[in-house]
Amino acid sequence: MEEARLAELLLNAVAGPAAATVVSLLCIIGFGWFMIKHLLPRQDRFIDDFVKESRANRKVFVDAVEIMGRRLDKVEENLDDIHKDISEIKFIIKEKS
Cβ neighbours for 19, distance < 8 A, ≥ 6 positions apart: 13
This prediction has a pTM of: 0.46
Cβ neighbours for 13, distance < 8 A, ≥ 6 positions apart: 19
- In tens, the pLDDT along 22-42 reads 889 999 999 989 888 888 888
DSSP percent split of the chain into helix, strand, coil, nearest 5: 95, 0, 5
Give CA torsion, residues 47, 48, 54, 56, to 10 deg: -160
pLDDT at residue 13 above 80?
no
- In tens, the pLDDT along 75-95 reads 999 999 999 999 999 988 888
From the centroid of its chain, how far is CA 27?
31
